[in-house]
Amino acid sequence: MFCMLLFTTALIAQNDTIRDWETDRGDRDEVVDMEKREKIIRDAEEAKNVISQMNPNAARLFDSAVGYAIFPNVGKGAYILGGAAGNGVVYENGERVGFAELRQLDIGLQIGGQAFREVIFFETQAALDRFKNGNLEFEGNASAVIIEEGKSRNISFQDGVAVVTMPKAGAMVELSIGGQQFSYGELD
């Protein structure tokens, strides 16, 4: 029964993500709907606190990085074809400057569903600007540090960007390739 529920959840998340991935943004000016913004901000602040408590290296990066994007609730589902999606908050020099969408599509041997938090740290202004201009995509399996309770891991930058993820719930088995794509919108 649990496997069937997990499978169904994965298919629903997969279909929603693919539809969102392929949707033309058209006249939509907002990356994140106005009514969702306050909840995303609260969730991002909570994610920042939890990640900082669990990893001192991440806590230092929140203070020293030029900027960062916090995606507090990323949902991922897969059955061969997989997808993930989440909304986040973008900070520059510690100040909130905008919102972002994360979309992921991948294919391979995979099944399941999971929820996780993701933070992208920007070491340089050029890296943050690439993200804000829509020129940052992760292809293949980007090197991400997975934060787990009781384990402190070093976080390193590649091309001015470091990625940290933290599982929240679910189970996923995968051997896949794909990529993440981001959209950014300034605060109104």
Q: Please report, in tens digits, the pLDDT of each residue of the chain (188 residues total).
A: 334 333 434 444 444 444 444 444 444 457 778 889 999 999 999 999 999 998 889 999 999 999 999 999 999 998 889 999 999 999 999 999 999 999 999 888 888 999 999 999 999 999 999 999 988 887 655 556 677 665 656 788 888 999 998 989 887 777 777 788 999 999 87
Q: Which amino acid is at 188?
A: D
Range of the domain at 17: 2-186
- Can you give the pLDDT at residue 13? 44
Do 42 and 98 form a contact (C-beta atoms < 8 A)?
no
- Can you give the pLDDT at residue 179? 84
- Can you give the pLDDT at residue 161? 92
- Within a 13 Å sphere around the CA of 33, how many CA atoms are in the beta-carbon half? 4
Q: How many domains does the chain have?
A: 1
> CB within 8 A of 120, min separation 6: which ones?
68, 69, 71, 131, 161, 162, 163, 164
- Can you give the pLDDT at residue 142? 54
- Can you give the pLDDT at residue 148? 67
| CA–CA gap between residue 169 and residue 5 (Å, rounded) | 14
